[in-house]
Every structure is written in structure tokens, then in C-alpha cells.
């Protein structure tokens, strides 16, 4: 069965970027510390990254995040989604207007202009098709940014919430849960590594 998984790194004080994020400073001041775990040599961190990306049949992201990863300083063969761990899933971008061109033309991009629920539905179709081709269940991963994941949670679109809690206090930036609709979570897994605490919840 295809699940909708919201997956994001967050600071101890609840931010998914540091202060002052922008086109030339995508994660804000100090925000790189949020993703130390993803580049770690810790075998548990590597296993979590491998498991998550291997099960990704499609990935949903917002336009701001797309502009960062497709920009000049964005993804490459070493820093792309699950780089070195998995093949390339389909990517679905929620946007008011598709870009005129895409730098990362080797990836499968779909741009949805009719809102987040439509984007999640399109991603589910892509993931289910990939599941059929591969003979195993694949999921839809909502990778962010923070506003997209908060909106998806508020709209009841998320089955599983995966948080990578980084041992850093950023003091400001983009909050994950401010103003969020209350949701009941059921804790399913906790893995503590040298760089993060990885938390998995079912969303009721």
C-alpha cells in the first residue's frame, strides 16, 4: 500500500531552516546543521537514508524548494535526493506557474498548479505505477519545505510523519508547526544516532 510520508529535519526549537533563508542561503544561518545526519558515516544514519529513499516512488516539494535544488548551487550527482543510495523517483512540484526551464533535466518533473491535494494525488499515481513496475510497495514522500508539510498535515493528507531531530537550537527561521491544526500522533519508532534522533509517527 502506498503511504504518504512527510519527512523533514527539524531543530530542537522547531525550525526547519535557520534565520534568513533565501535564494543564496537556502537553509538560513546555521541551517546546514539540520542535515548533518544525511551526510554522516554513522551506519544507522546511512540505513535510515537508504530505507527512506529506496521506498520513494514519488516525491512532492514546493516551488521555493524546487528553485533551490534546481538552482546553480542545488542538487548534483553527489547531493541530490538520496544520492548514492537509490534510483531517481518522480518529482511533483506544487506551484502557481511552472518554470520556463529546468536545469536538472535528467529527473522526472511534474508541475501541478491546482493545489497540494492534486499534487499528492498525482504523486500517488506515479508511486503506484512505480510499485507495479517494480513489484514492491513504494511511498509518496513530502520533502518540504516546512509550509508544504504543515499544510499537508493540516489537510489530513499525511499517513506517516518522519522527523529527524537535529541537536541544534537555531533561535529562529522557518517554523514547522506554528499555527498547525491539532493532530493525534502514535509513536512508531525512535532511533538515536550520533547526529540526530529519528522519530516516526502514524498520523491519526
pLDDT in tens, 121-150: 999 999 999 999 999 999 999 998 999 999
What's the pLDDT at 81?
Answer: 81
Mean pLDDT value of segment 152-177? 97
Give which of 167, 172, 126 is closest to 27, Cα–Cα.
172
What's the pLDDT at 179?
Answer: 86
Question: Which structural domains are found in the chain, ordered by start?
Answer: 4-19+28-203 (3.40.430.10)
Tell me the per-residue pLDDT of 7-24, one tens digit each, with 9 for 90 and over.
Answer: 999 999 999 999 999 877
pTM recorded for the entire structure: 0.94
CB 99 within 8 A of CB 111: yes
CA–CA distance from 72 to each of 30, 31, 36, 88, 104 (Å)? Answer: 20, 19, 21, 20, 10
What's the pLDDT at 204?
Answer: 93
Q: What DSSP designation does 182 have?
A: P
| Mean pLDDT computed over every residue of the chain | 93
What's the pLDDT at 86?
Answer: 55
Residue 82 confidence (pLDDT) above 70: no
Residue 54 confidence (pLDDT) above 70: yes
Q: Give the whole-number percent of the chain exceeding pLDDT 70.
A: 97
Calpha distance 34→129 (Å, rounded): 32
What nine digits make up the cell of 132? 507495479
What's the pLDDT at 166?
Answer: 98
**E-strand spans in the chain?**
4-11, 56-62, 90-94, 109-112, 139-144, 160-166, 185-192, 197-203
Residue 37 confidence (pLDDT) above 90: yes
Mean pLDDT value of segment 80-99? 83
Q: Residue length, the chain? A: 204
Q: Give the whole-number percent of the chain exceeding pLDDT 90.
A: 82
CB 127 within 8 A of CB 57: yes
Amino acid at each position: 500500500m502506498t503511504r504518504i510520508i512527510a519527512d523533514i529535519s527539524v531543530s530542537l526549537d522547531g525550525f526547519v531552516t535557520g534565520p534568513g533563508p533565501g535564494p543564496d542561503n537556502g537553509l538560513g544561518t546555521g541551517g546546514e546543521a539540520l542535515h548533518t545526519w544525511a551526510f554522516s558515516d554513522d551506519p544507522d544514519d546511512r540505513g535510515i537514508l537508504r530505507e527512506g529513499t529506496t521506498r520513494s516512488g514519488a516525491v512532492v516539494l514546493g516551488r521555493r524548494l524546487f528553485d533551490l535544488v534546481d538552482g546553480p548551487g542545488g542538487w548534483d550527482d553527489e547531493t541530490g535526493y538520496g544520492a548514492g543510495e537509490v534510483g531517481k523517483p518522480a518529482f511533483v512540484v506544487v506551484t502557481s506557474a511552472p518554470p520556463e526551464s529546468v536545469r536538472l533535466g535528467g529527473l522526472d518533473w511534474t508541475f501541478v498548479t491546482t493545489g497540494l491535494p492534486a499534487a499528492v494525488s498525482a504523486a500517488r499515481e506515479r508511486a503506484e505505477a512505480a510499485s507495479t513496475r517494480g513489484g514492491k510497495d513504494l511511498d509518496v514522500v513530502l520533502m518540504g519545505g516546512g509550509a508544504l508539510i504543515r499544510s499537508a498535515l493540516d489537510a489530513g493528507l499525511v499517513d506517516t510523519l518522519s522527523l529527524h531531530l537535529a541537536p541544534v537550537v537555531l533561535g529562529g527561521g522557518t517554523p514547522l508547526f506554528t499555527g498547525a491544526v491539532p493532530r493525534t500522533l502514535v509513536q512508531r519508532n525512535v532511533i538515536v544516532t550520533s547526529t540526530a534522533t529519528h522519530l516516526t509517527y502514524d498520523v491519526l
